[in-house]
Structure 1
């Protein structure tokens, strides 16, 4: 499993307005190869958007980061910060990390 952390400057809607505006995008993300789950992140005061993603493998995470970065840049985002991490499963299990849900 690989965890992908993405953030970027975001001038669009946040909170409930973001939730309503981006339903179709969220649904399309579920179809990405290797995706297990995504947690959407937003920081209103710093005007940041992003997400934390869990992928089945490194290649899926890299492919998604490349595609998502291109999509965001087409939407006017100048810089996308993305980092792929390994998941330390023994420590994550101690802290009830969501990677141990059925089907992962």
Structure 2
């Protein structure tokens, strides 16, 4: 069963290409997380928000990553971390071209 983790928080920047350059190392390290499948990075410079949507193989892997990443964000001074964990309905997701892989 695939689990989706949504994490969002307030962020003053950087955004766009500057964000891509600044967070490339973080992005690469996420690929090494046990049970990690994929991530979508989103940003809204107008409202100063960032959102990560992650897919993990298990609920336990998602929860472990949430704990680790929350601590990392707090080290960066981010204090407005919000998160939600969902189980993916893989049958319906495949109809709409999504994937659990």
Matched, 1:20 2:37: no
TM-score, normalised via structure 2 length: 0.94
CA distance, structure 2, for counterparts of residue 39 and residue 95 of structure 1: 16
CA distance, structure 1, for counterparts of residue 5 and residue 63 of structure 2: 9
Unpaired runs of 5+ residues, structure 2, are: none
Unpaired runs of 5+ residues, structure 1, are: none
* Structure 1 runs (4+) greater than 6 angstroms displaced: none
Query: Pairwise CA RMSD of aligned residues?
Result: 0.9
Matched, 1:36 2:30: no
User: Retained in 1: the 8 A contact 2:11–2:49?
Assistant: yes
The Cα offsets for residues 15-72 of structure 1, whole Å up to 9 and x where unpaired, read as: 0110111111111111011100111111111101121000000000000001111111
TM-score, normalised via structure 1 length: 0.92
The corresponding residue for 2:6 is 5
* Count of paired positions: 100
The corresponding residue for 2:81 is 80
